[in-house]
Copies of this chain bind each other. A is one copy, B any other.
Amino acid sequence: MSKKKICVVVGSRANYSSIKSAMRAIKEHPALELQLIVTASAVLDRYGSVVNLIEKDGFTPHARVTMLIEGETPATMAKSTGLGLIELPTLFEQLAPDVVLTVGDRFETMATTLAAAYMNIPVAHTMGGEVSGTIDESIRHAVTKFAHIHFPASPGARDRIVKLGELPQHVHLVGCPRIDLVAEILQNCSTGISEQLFDIGVGERFPVDEPFVLISQHPVTTEYGSGEAQITMTLEAVREQGLAAIVLWPNADAGSDDISRGIRKWRERKLDDRMHFFKNLPIDIYVNLMRATACLIGNSSSGIREGAYIGTPVVNIGTRQNMRDRGENVIEVPYDKKQISDAIARQVKHGHYAMNPLYGDGSAGRKIADVLATEEVDVQKCITY
């Protein structure tokens, strides 16, 4: 019997982490064949050539598609989606997949979904049904309305997908595949971070046994133009608390130039004497940092998702993760230096939280592969009400 062909389109480092365990499970499943297209920031040097990492992990891309139009403005995000929509159909015709598996809520997810759905290829979607800020909120739910098989990560997300009029029998609560990686890393790695960490990245070193915070702040597309002020406020709050910090550069997205400018100016003003800066941290180091940090600050989804499983204290700033289901490890604050600063102090004092399986227990990838191997869908969708 011929294997069912599952095509995954990976568009960024975060994308890859969110689907890697499912890719592995698909590749190893006797009834499935994995097809892979790598695109968007995942093929670019500037974002650390994730495609090379993917190949090192044993996956073979059918094609590498550059599709990011320079500018990182809302307009180029739309045009990049268009570029993806132009190229993916030709590649899908080459591959003739039985299912296209797409991840989350990025603009390349939209391109993948539209191309497949228009071509009458069933679409499977991970991480639908969640609630957040930015245009991702709309992309995610729109993708749900095109998708045929749903793999939500949390119970709240599952309920929302059903409310959106999707057939309950095609909505499978599997948890987030990123947690699979986290679980694996926590099993394999020693605790604590080492001095060698500072050999990569740029900026100052600080004693690794001292408490430090982790800053990961991304642009909010609907607040385009405010990024520089936002990151500066965070850096000031951390400085006020007198804590050492590890600072991550933002994702490629409309507005990331603003955040980057804020960080660069901070460094030029020489206010970074206890800060170290990283682009594209390997996930195992990142997970270890989340376990070791006194507090994760910013608006990264990892604080809420992986943070729940790891027990990381988190100060989540602003609207970007608005209404995402969260555990007790997260304190919410607005863009207000005083409130950010106070919340950091509280989290540092509280310390580590207990493990919470809100976003999965480490078996998402395997469950996804099992569903894909057996589920039959009607390519013609119909809302349930």
For the complex, is A319 an interface residue (Cβ under 8 Å from B)?
yes
Interface string of A88-110 (1 = CB under 8 A from B): 11111110000000000001001
| Smallest CB separation, A22 vs chain B (Å) | 23
A44 touches B70 (CB 8 A): yes
Give residues 41-85 of A contacting B (CB, 8 Å). Answer: 43-46, 62-71, 73-79, 81-85
A67 to B163, CA, bound (A): 35
A-B pairs, top 6 by smallest CB distance, nearest first, are A82-B85, A142-B142, A75-B89, A82-B86, A78-B118, A141-B145
State whether A71 and B78 are in contact (beta carbons under 8 Å apart), knowing that A131-B383, A380-B222, A383-B131 are contacts in the complex: no
Give residues 209-260 of A contacting B (CB, 8 Å). Answer: 221-222, 224, 254, 257
A45 to B163, CA, bound (A): 43
| Smallest CB separation, A184 vs chain B (Å) | 32
For the complex, is A381 an interface residue (Cβ under 8 Å from B)?
yes
B119 touches A383 (CB 8 A): no
A94 touches B385 (CB 8 A): no
State whether A69 and B88 are in contact (beta carbons under 8 Å apart), knowing that A74-B119, A137-B381, A385-B163 are contacts in the complex: no
For the complex, is A165 an interface residue (Cβ under 8 Å from B)?
yes
A319 to B144, CA, bound (A): 22
A92 to B78, CA, bound (A): 11
**In the complex, residue of chain B having the shortest beta-carbon distance to the beta carbon of A261:** B45
State whether A114 and B81 are in contact (beta carbons under 8 Å apart), knowing that A120-B74, A319-B380 are contacts in the complex: yes
In terms of DSSP, what is the predominant structure of the interface of chain A? helix
B71 touches A83 (CB 8 A): no
A64 touches B93 (CB 8 A): yes
| Smallest CB separation, A142 vs chain B (Å) | 4
A110 to B87, CA, bound (A): 17
For the complex, is A287 an interface residue (Cβ under 8 Å from B)?
no
Residue of B66, B68, B81, B141 touching A75 (CB-CB under 8 A) = B66
**Which B residues lie within 8 Å of A89 (CB)?**
66, 75-76, 78-79
A78 touches B85 (CB 8 A): yes
| Smallest CB separation, A24 vs chain B (Å) | 24
For the complex, is A382 an interface residue (Cβ under 8 Å from B)?
yes
For the complex, is A117 an interface residue (Cβ under 8 Å from B)?
yes
For the complex, is A146 an interface residue (Cβ under 8 Å from B)?
yes
**Which B residues lie within 8 Å of A85 (CB)?**
78-79, 81-82, 85
A65 to B110, CA, bound (A): 22
A83 touches B82 (CB 8 A): yes
| Smallest CB separation, A166 vs chain B (Å) | 10
**In the complex, residue of chain B having the shortest beta-carbon distance to the beta carbon of A78:** B118
A381 touches B138 (CB 8 A): yes
| Smallest CB separation, A327 vs chain B (Å) | 20
